[in-house]
Amino acid sequence: MNLQIIKVDYSDEKQGVDLCYLLNEYAKDPMGGGEALNKKVLNSLPAKLQDFPGATSFIAYLDNQPAGLVNGFLGFSTFKAQPLFNIHDFAVLKKYRGMKVSSQLMKTIDEYAKEQCCCKITLEVLNKNQIALQAYKNFGFAAYELDPKAGQAIFLEKEI
């Protein structure tokens, strides 16, 4: 099997189609929300990502078929006064799980974050997604805490 990881060129039509396909498949998975994304969102996503500062995506192709996706964004750590890379979406299609796609994507992200002089990589994961949680721990991720006495950080959202 031939595994290739590419940094997405948002202006490339095929890469944009593959990005949207992978993201939509992730969204339809129970761990991605369980329902397809709005077509308007999918149709506009590549162009909007291209225009968004710090947006970066990687697609894993296994035997020339889209198999996995990472969407991430450069951010900034005020405590370290350095950039960070936040993984917003990390998905591998079901039929390609267990084929080292996630580990190759993570290696690519590590390399990219180092090239950008990032101090860390961050992500969020559903606490019931035990397979992903274990994989992230195997990649070296841990729950965020400044001091164990203060507890672990939790991810909150407010829709507007």
Tens of pLDDT, residues 77-120: 999 999 999 999 999 999 999 999 999 999 999 999 999 999 99
Instruction: Answer yes or no: is 143 within a domain.
Output: no
Q: Is residue 133 part of a domain?
A: no
Classify residue 158: in a domain, yes or no. Answer: no
pLDDT tens-digit map of 36-79 = 999 999 999 999 999 999 999 999 999 999 999 999 999 999 99
* Max intra-chain CA distance, the chain: 50
160 part of a folded domain:
no
User: Confidence band (pLDDT; 50, 70, 90) for 154?
Assistant: confident
Whether residue 91 lies inside any domain: the answer is yes
Residues 6 or more apart whose Cβ sits within 8 Å of residue 28: 34, 35, 36
DSSP per-residue codes, 15-53: HHHHHHHHHHHHHHSGGGTSSPPPHHHHHHHHHHHHHST
Beta strand 65-77 with 3-7: parallel, antiparallel or unpaired? Answer: unpaired
The residue segments making up the domain with residue 27 are 3-123
- Residue 102 sits in a domain of what CATH number? 3.40.630.30
Is position 20 within any domain? yes
pTM of this structure = 0.94
- Domain-embedded: residue 72: yes
Does 139 fall in a domain? no
Number of domain units in the chain: 1
d(C-alpha 31, C-alpha 46), whole Å: 23
